Structure 1
Amino acid sequence: MRHLYDGVPDILAEIETRAPDTSDHLAETARIVDLHHPRRLALTVAEVIVETPTTRTFRLRRADGEDLPPFLAGQYVGVFTDGTSRPLAISSSPARLDHYDLTVRRVPGGRISNHLIDTLAAGDQVTTTGPMGTFHHNPLFHGEDVVFLAGGSGVAPAMSMIRDIVDHGLDRRFHLLYGSRDEQDIIFRDELDRIAAGRPRIRIDHVIGDLLTAGTIRDLAGPLEGRMVYVCGPQALYPYALEQLTALGHARRRVRFEANGAPARPEEQAHWPAGVDPVEEVIVTAGGRSFRSPRGRPLLDALEDHGIRPEAACRSGECSLCRVRVVKGRVHTAEEARLRLSDERFGYTHSCVAYPLTDLDLDL
């Protein structure tokens, strides 16, 4: 009696003749993946461009002159400096991969923005991640009629999107409502106004000194129904913009927010435990050492303060690279965290937007 598997050797032999090369090509696959999605990039500051009295654009290139990995307009790279990292939006066009432009605005009391503006010069070396992030246009889900509410350096991803439209000749309507404190604060003003003057489907409105109120949005942008609204800027802009858009009857699913750091005051979130003092210190044990840290300080920052540096990129609860497992103790997980179901089941949290409520033991 012929067994079901008797013919298997003949089948395998025939497959070998048809496809003689059955190796996995692991090294070649890894090379291709790293080319487009590198974990780290070693870049050189080719130029420092003064945009406003408080803003600089750092133009980064590869030392060998080769093109940089492709990206989607609106994405960012993580920049490593001063013992930590920060995500910075790419403001240049995806059509021009000989460089990345990173536009940085000085923030009062800001550790990294001030450090970069005060110390980074042409010729300096910079280490970054590859391009990352989900804050980019998807024509299938977002349509081709976009409104962008920007404040301060939140115009950087909008600038990349506008340059993308121009360089690729995209048939997309793009209306930027750009809020600035004063005339001197407007980043990219000349280029934005020049582009808008020559392209009727790109409209730029500068809102000086005033907030982007529901009335302002309605008067400038007109009806929002069916349009996607992007929001990027200081943290305070997000809840305010959502409130104004909601007042206009715009659906939450038609609003996209760029991830923009951990909340500065987590105790103001609704699920922060009542009576828990954010200033009070607890003991965190991780990586073979223990240290004290305030409850109101993100775990990732506290770990970096003590020389423990988990992989990190967005620092906003989105990318999940900084996941750690809470072996013992309890954390406040900010609303910004995009945890997986498995994270919650097995005790993982995103350390960039997690705050120690009790003494903690962490598995890194």
Structure 2
Amino acid sequence: MKHPLAPLFDGHDAVQADIDSRPADTTDHLSEVRRTVDTYHPRRLTLTVTEVITETATTKTFRLRRPDGADLPPFLAGQYVGVFADGTNRPYALSSSPARLDHWDLTIRRVPGGRISNHLIDTVTPGDTLTTTGPMGTFHHNPLFHGDDVVFLAGGSGVVPAMSMIRDIVDHGLNRRLHLVYGSRTDDDVIFRDELDALAADHHPNICIDHVIAEPGPGWAGPTGFLTSSLIKTLAGPLNARTVYVCGPQALYPYALQQLLDLGHPRRRIRFEANGAPADPTRQAHWPADAAPDGEVTVTAAGRTFRTRRDRPLLDALEDEGIRPEAACRSGECSLCRVRVLKGTLHTAEEAKLRMSDARFGYTHSCVAYPITDVELDA
């Protein structure tokens, strides 16, 4: 049927005749798109551990490859993958270079009492398999907004995404400068120390590395203490408009933020990596004063009812009952673990990056939500 506006365009009959003469398009475009999405953003991958590298007494790197040897999905330096084990998952940053897709390196430090880090470090050996997500996360360099001269403040295992960024610059010959200021507790627990020292000795034009040791041994001659504003200024020089990345233990974040603000650095030029649920949600100002954190409440979800403490993340409580919402960052950012609250009151931590519509329709991020009263979920 001819479109009523067709006669208004010169040559419309010839165009229509050409269209009509073409063979019918029988391509299954939906399947093609699905294959492309699964190639670059797979939900799950089963990978083989081909090497386990001891970095320090507390840290190991697990090298993962596809069983068939094919390349892994590409990623941006600073991103993470979720690792599944023991009925749950945890996000771990990739430390390898985006230039090398024949393998991924996950560098993991032991967390005292950590459910997954201890399992991986104590039990996983070459030949084992791990199930992961595809790469994800927003903690990566954005050339449009971050510029080509950045500072990275790292504490402990927070150096992992910085290492991927450094390797990216070196391997791809990027015209980007990165100054790493890396704080460690002791000088014998510095992750990637040999590689970082080699880069420093080579005087790479785009990489500058400074170590700061909180509890130095007798042979340490470098900077000591904490990443104070004066030390940051001494090592990194005037920050001016440079973007500053911060990654490390949760306690580093408010401290580093205050030090940077004391230097007059604008908040919009400071980027923090999401780093788990709050260690103590009751310290947040909007935690109800009359809600005892160790008190138990009832949760109803997926046809079952169970009890849990108020100060336990809802996602953890659901997983313990065999109810496993999709989850990735476990820090309130990615929103994969969103659940709808039908009844009851929850404390949603400050870390949650909620959508504007979530409050209206009753959604929360279960990884950083805490049931204050008995609750019923649409799950």
TM-score (norm 1): 0.96
- What is the alpha-carbon distance in structure 1 between the residues aligned to residue 17 and residue 35 of structure 2? 31
- What is the alpha-carbon distance in structure 2 between the residues aligned to residue 195 and residue 31 of structure 1? 40
- What is the alpha-carbon distance in structure 2 between the residues aligned to residue 19 and residue 133 of structure 1? 43
- How far is the alpha carbon of 1:3 from its aligned partner? 9.1
Determine helix, strand or coil for the equivalent of 2:188: helix
Letter in 2 for 1:17: S
Name which of structure 1's ranges 15-24 and 53-62 shifts more when overlaid on structure 2: 15-24
Name which of structure 1's ranges 14-23 and 231-240 shifts more when overlaid on structure 2: 14-23
Specify which of 136, 139, 143 is matched with residue 143 of structure 2.
139
- How far is the alpha carbon of 1:110 from its aligned partner? 1.4
Matched, 1:273 2:278: no
- What is the alpha-carbon distance in structure 2 between the residues aligned to residue 24 and residue 333 of structure 1? 43
Partner of 2:377: 362
Matched, 1:240 2:255: yes
Name which of structure 1's ranges 148-157 and 103-112 shifts more when overlaid on structure 2: 103-112
- What is the alpha-carbon distance in structure 2 between the residues aligned to residue 202 and residue 18 of structure 1? 56
Partner of 2:221: none
The alpha-carbon distance between structure 1 residues 359 and 171, as it changes in their structure 2 partners (threshold 3 A), is same
- What is the alpha-carbon distance in structure 1 between the residues aligned to residue 3 and residue 115 of structure 2? 72
- What is the alpha-carbon distance in structure 2 between the residues aligned to residue 129 and residue 241 of structure 1? 31
Partner of 2:365: 350
Question: Which ranges in structure 1 are unaligned for 5 or more consecutive residues?
Answer: none
- What is the alpha-carbon distance in structure 1 between the residues aligned to residue 70 and residue 3 of structure 2? 58
Partner of 2:219: none
Specify which of 92, 117, 120 is matched with residue 116 of structure 1.
120
Partner of 2:196: 192
The alpha-carbon distance between structure 1 residues 3 and 243, as it changes in their structure 2 partners (threshold 3 A), is closer
Letter in 1 for 2:348: T
User: What are the superposed Cα offsets for residues 208-231 of structure 1, whole Å, 9 maximum, x if unpaired?
Assistant: 012111111111111111100000
Partner of 1:25: 29
Partner of 1:36: 40
Partner of 1:130: 134
Matched, 1:201 2:206: yes
TM-score (norm 2): 0.92
- How far is the alpha carbon of 1:21 from its aligned partner? 2.2
Specify which of 264, 267, 277 is matched with residue 249 of structure 1.
264
- What is the alpha-carbon distance in structure 2 between the residues aligned to residue 143 and residue 18 of structure 1? 48
Matched, 1:215 2:230: yes
Determine helix, strand or coil for the equivalent of 2:90: strand
- How far is the alpha carbon of 1:111 from its aligned partner? 1.4
Determine helix, strand or coil for the equivalent of 1:283: strand
Partner of 1:4: 4
Matched, 1:324 2:328: no
- What is the alpha-carbon distance in structure 1 between the residues aligned to residue 22 and residue 248 of structure 2? 57
Determine helix, strand or coil for the equivalent of 1:157: helix
Partner of 2:298: 283
- How far is the alpha carbon of 1:15 from its aligned partner? 2.9
- How far is the alpha carbon of 1:97 from its aligned partner? 0.2
The alpha-carbon distance between structure 1 residues 3 and 80, as it changes in their structure 2 partners (threshold 3 A), is closer
The alpha-carbon distance between structure 1 residues 151 and 14, as it changes in their structure 2 partners (threshold 3 A), is same
- How far is the alpha carbon of 1:18 from its aligned partner? 5.2
- How far is the alpha carbon of 1:173 from its aligned partner? 1.1
Name which of structure 1's ranges 195-204 and 102-111 shifts more when overlaid on structure 2: 195-204
- What is the alpha-carbon distance in structure 1 between the residues aligned to residue 40 and residue 99 of structure 2? 15
The alpha-carbon distance between structure 1 residues 221 and 26, as it changes in their structure 2 partners (threshold 3 A), is same
User: What are the superposed Cα offsets for residues 308-361 of structure 1, whole Å, 9 maximum, x if unpaired?
Assistant: 100000000111110000000111111111111121210000000111011000
- What is the alpha-carbon distance in structure 2 between the residues aligned to residue 222 and residue 121 of structure 1? 43
Question: Which ranges in structure 2 are unaligned for 5 or more consecutive residues?
Answer: 215-224
Partner of 2:69: 65
- What is the alpha-carbon distance in structure 1 between the residues aligned to residue 95 and residue 6 of structure 2? 62
Matched, 1:95 2:99: yes
Partner of 2:184: 180
- What is the alpha-carbon distance in structure 2 between the residues aligned to residue 315 and residue 101 of structure 1? 21
